[in-house]
Amino acid sequence: MKRHLLAALAAPLALAPGCGDEPPPAVEIDYSGPTSEWRHVGGDAGGMQYSPLDQIDVDNVGSLEVAWTYHHGDVSDGSDGSTRTSFNGTPIVVGDALYFCTGMHRVIALDAETGEERWTFDPEPKLTRLKGPYPRVCRGVAHWEDPAPRDPAAACNARILMGTIDSELIALDAATGEPCADFGGDGRISLREGLGETPDWEYYPTAAPVVLRDVVVTGALVADNVRADAPSGVVRAFDVRTGELRWAWDPVPPGWRWPDDWRERVRSEYTPGTPNVWTFMSVDPERNLVFVPTGNASPDYFAANRQGLDHYSSSVVALWGSTGKVIWNFQTVHKDV
């Protein structure tokens, strides 16, 4: 079998420095068995974490050997004045390419068979110093492929999408790593639009976005343990080709109204203090649904100060992929303190 899945599983364990200086011997590859991709951080669009491959089992797993090792080098303990990094990037495998992101928000593409570097992209983030306990982290990237490209030879028919620590959503050509010029401004759109004036470190995406048909959907990490009027936990969908905003779901309880002093003081289009979605979402392409796992409203440590915004806290919410309309929601913990 091709070593696509093996490489994807081995990469998180082998990317840290100090794993050995000598390259491993060449591995003879058996192409006779089934092959599999890992196109989403969760394996498939629904995040089921399932692989159909059966050549690795309890009898032979102990005999596996390292096929290749890659050192990305994006590691900081914070001693240089920046915030420490944490490598949480789950690779995805599309065709014969493996894609992942680092704690410094570089995107890297490797040959999945050999580990050879194909391209890297550095968004050159301006924010390197965070407040609070959070490390600099990127948990993954998403892939989209145009089902009917007008020009099969054109750039960006397949795209890698990722949120950055500078609160941007970027789109890159999956083949070259070059920014997709037709997506926002030179491959970038700002996620700070509509949030009002908030410190940079209070809002930025860390999880991979999800793609449903022709939209890319993202939430963000919010520093929700500082104040009740922390940045909104809004979930937004953008046109995957142009970066145009398609819809925004502001997780506000039905019938809720802003406190008298909030709108003038915060000057935010979206409601401050609402539950945020910092972790992975999933989608159901057939039913056109986005499944959103929410955290707490702000502040997360004391429910009495949450301004009545707990309706969608600690919940799974299903949104209609075309509009962001709530189809159903299930709260796992009521009044989560």
Domain-by-domain residue ranges, the chain?
A: 218-337
| Strand intervals (E) in the chain | 85-87, 92-94, 97-101, 107-111, 117-121, 136-138, 142-145, 158-163, 168-173, 188-190, 203-204, 210-212, 215-218, 221-222, 235-239, 245-249, 282-284, 289-293, 315-320, 326-331
CATH 2.40.50.140 fits 218-337, yes or no: no
Residue 153, class by beta-carbon neighbours within 10 Å (0-12 exposed, 13-18 middle, 19+ buried)?
exposed
Buried b (16+ CB within 10 A) or exposed e, 48-65: eeebeeeeeeeeeeeeee
pLDDT band at 111; cut points 50, 70, 90: very high
pLDDT at 226: 67
Range picked from 21-35, 59-73, 194-208, 286-300 for highest mean pLDDT:
59-73
Question: What pLDDT score does 131 carry?
Answer: 73
286's tokens: 């057939």
Can you give the pTM of this predicted structure? 0.85
- CA angle, 249 as apex, 246 and 254 as ends, to 5°? 140
